[in-house]
Structure 1
Amino acid sequence: MNILSRFAAVRRGLLLGLVGLGLLAGMPAQAQTLEKVKKSGELRIGVAPGDPWYYRDPATGQWTGVGVLMGEQIAKNIGVKMVPVETTWANSVAGLQSGQFDVMFVLDATEERKRAIDFPAAPMLWYAQGVLAKDGLTVKNWSDLDKPTVRVGVALGTATDRDLTKRLPNAKIERFTNTDETVAAFNAGRVDAIGFYHSVLTIAYSKIKKGSVQIPQPVVAIATSAGVRKEQDPAFRDMLDEQFKKLYASGQTQALYAQYLKTKGLDPDKMPGVTKESLEK
């Protein structure tokens, strides 16, 4: 390439750069989530089947659940309305990144997810590794299950499967394809107890009304949060952080959970709660 050709190429590059800068300058900056929520008057929350967090009534098509109740409460607190946007758990991160919805409640802040989306610092609520044990089987400690004569059902490949395999080396671990099959095995008396997170076991109990949900010692408690899109301005994330703190400290988080359990015909006073303090009693 001769000198004139090089000069022409540089000139074209400079012109294209200036045009690009002009176009960028003419484009409005992408509105941040909190600004959009207030302007639209809507807080869009991602919802995906997963009782007790999200449940779609087959008769009415309406969504409810603890996540929905939390969304409604926070929307009310900031003066907007809550709008559910159906998604899947697998699509939750992509949905937040693309702006399909503003927030998804009850999303654990794993290290992998934190690389892609943001989370409030304060936990939304807590759940614990628990068991649904047959009538007459008291499980105060995990060691009460760690016997060759005790059959414990788990869903294959889950975190509970991995945890209880290590925690209960002497128990007979029975593995099933999914949670529904695990519950069915318990209901049929093929296992003495099933392990999973206590909130899910509570819903299972509401359907079969058999056994009791127990949190063995030492308690394995896990905090869950809410996923939001990463943004230069953290105002939306920080707003949720403050809301979580206030709702938790005031007892409203537990009250929302209790409210939902009542719709399942359960007495919330007889069921483990969703605060760390109540789980560790």
Structure 2
Amino acid sequence: MARSISRKVGGGMVCLTAALTLLMQPAAHADTQTWENVHKAGVLRCGAAIAAPYVMRDAASGQYSGYFVELCRDFAENVLKVKAQFVDTSWDNQVAGIQSGKWDMAMALNMTPERAKAVAFSVPATDYQISLLINAKNPKFSAAGSNLADFDKPGVTIAVISGTAADKAVSGAIKQATLMRLPGSDETRMALMSKRADILADANDTNHLFAMANSWVKEVTPVPALAKQGVSFALSRETPAEDLAQLDAYLTERRASGEIDKLVDQASAQIIAGQKAQ
């Protein structure tokens, strides 16, 4: 009887030891070693949802461009030493594609608390916020700087697209100026051009394109910032800290050197050239 009990206890100890050994083993690399897997595959897959000037695609050739595309390509080829592969998708599927492993990074996602529950974010490559467009010769703003109070005055009319983030942000910040809510960007631009509106408030990337194409327009980034969010690469939440740190260091350096600003201008110029050719 004693021998029987001893054997059972001994067998139980062996099973317990084996179970503890399994629990103490590191997680499988397939789920956690992001850049290691990329190196093995030889490609960095980037989910590509179209939104100029971040991500663009030529309908005839299928070639991708835009400044997030250029950053993805440069990081793949010059940092990771692999090829970049762009996977066509929609904005609705960007996060799901990361979670299911269809691509390694999603491009140009706004960093929001809700998305941060599902994916990891790099440092922002650029910032999204509301900017203001004015006629550079408008005497109402001859002494204006970048402070929002310089534009929030009686007798000033601000055009916004009704129901947008710009409408919400400006409505909450403006106390004295008059809001002109219009159905679309064509209407708001026409209001500024015809001087029915003194200011056009819209997303900074959209406004930047219009300012580049029209020399009479001055672009103002207001202080305090309106609806500011980082625009980043998104990766799996399982991405190791050291892998994410490598991407962060790359983006920080590119941004500090002014290279990202140059890429933004190149993408904007490409869009303007295409519009003129039509």
User: 2:161, 2:184 within 8 Å by CA — same for their partners in 1?
Assistant: yes
User: 1:154, 1:182 within 8 Å by CA — same for their partners in 2?
Assistant: yes
User: 2:34, 2:239 within 8 Å by CA — same for their partners in 1?
Assistant: no
Task: Please state if 1:198 is matched with 2:173.
Answer: no
CA 239–178 in structure 1, closer or farther in 2 if over 3 Å, else same = farther
Deviation at 1:188, TM superposition (A): 5.2
Greater mean deviation of Cα atoms: 187-196 or 71-80? 187-196
User: 2:49, 2:107 within 8 Å by CA — same for their partners in 1?
Assistant: no
Separation of aligned partners in 2, 1:169 and 1:236: 46
What amino acid maps onto 1:103 in structure 2?
M
> Which has the bigger relative contact order, CA under 8 A and spacing at least 6?
2
Deviation at 1:171, TM superposition (A): 1.7
Match among 148, 151, 167 for residue 142 of structure 1: 148
Separation of aligned partners in 2, 1:99 and 1:230: 12
Separation of aligned partners in 1, 2:181 and 2:97: 32
Greater mean deviation of Cα atoms: 127-136 or 60-69? 127-136
Aligned to 2:254: 247
What amino acid maps onto 1:168 in structure 2?
I
Query: Per the alignment, in what secondary structure is the counterpart of residue 90 of structure 1?
Result: helix
Aligned to 1:156: 162
Match among 172, 182, 193 for residue 176 of structure 1: 182
User: 2:213, 2:272 within 8 Å by CA — same for their partners in 1?
Assistant: no
Separation of aligned partners in 2, 1:57 and 1:184: 28
Deviation at 1:143, TM superposition (A): 2.5
CA 56–144 in structure 1, closer or farther in 2 if over 3 Å, else same = same
Task: Please state if 1:63 is matched with 2:64.
Answer: yes
Separation of aligned partners in 1, 2:182 and 2:49: 23
User: 2:154, 2:177 within 8 Å by CA — same for their partners in 1?
Assistant: yes
> What TM-score does the superposition give when structure 2 sets the normalisation length?
0.73
Deviation at 1:184, TM superposition (A): 4.7
What are structure 1's unaligned runs of at least 5 residues? 1-27, 267-281
What amino acid maps onto 2:267 in structure 1?
Y
Separation of aligned partners in 2, 1:152 and 1:49: 29
Separation of aligned partners in 2, 1:132 and 1:247: 27
Aligned to 2:3: none
Aligned to 1:86: 88
Separation of aligned partners in 2, 1:236 and 1:40: 16
What amino acid maps onto 2:248 in structure 1?
D
Aligned to 2:234: 227
Separation of aligned partners in 2, 1:214 and 1:74: 31
What amino acid maps onto 1:175 in structure 2?
R
Match among 217, 220, 223 for residue 214 of structure 1: 220
CA 136–58 in structure 1, closer or farther in 2 if over 3 Å, else same = farther
Question: How many equivalent pairs are there?
Answer: 240
> What TM-score does the superposition give when structure 1 sets the normalisation length?
0.72
Separation of aligned partners in 2, 1:84 and 1:189: 43
Query: Per the alignment, in what secondary structure is the counterpart of residue 238 of structure 2?
Result: coil
Separation of aligned partners in 2, 1:188 and 1:56: 33
Separation of aligned partners in 2, 1:180 and 1:79: 44
User: 1:206, 1:264 within 8 Å by CA — same for their partners in 2?
Assistant: no
User: 2:95, 2:118 within 8 Å by CA — same for their partners in 1?
Assistant: yes
Task: Please state if 1:39 is matched with 2:50.
Answer: no
Deviation at 1:190, TM superposition (A): 4.3
Task: Please state if 1:260 is matched with 2:267.
Answer: yes
Match among 91, 101, 104 for residue 102 of structure 1: 104
Query: Per the alignment, in what secondary structure is the counterpart of residue 116 of structure 1?
Result: coil
User: 2:125, 2:255 within 8 Å by CA — same for their partners in 1?
Assistant: yes
**Which one has a larger percent helix, Structure 1 or Structure 2?**
2
What amino acid maps onto 1:224 in structure 2?
V
1:46-92: CA deviation from partner (whole Å, max 9, x where unpaired):
22222221122345442211111111111122111222222222322
Separation of aligned partners in 2, 1:116 and 1:188: 45
Separation of aligned partners in 2, 1:212 and 1:58: 32
RMSD between superposed Cα atoms in Å = 3.0
Separation of aligned partners in 2, 1:184 and 1:87: 33
What amino acid maps onto 1:55 in structure 2?
M
Separation of aligned partners in 2, 1:232 and 1:143: 43
User: 2:53, 2:67 within 8 Å by CA — same for their partners in 1?
Assistant: yes
What amino acid maps onto 2:100 in structure 1?
S
Identity percentage of aligned residues: 30
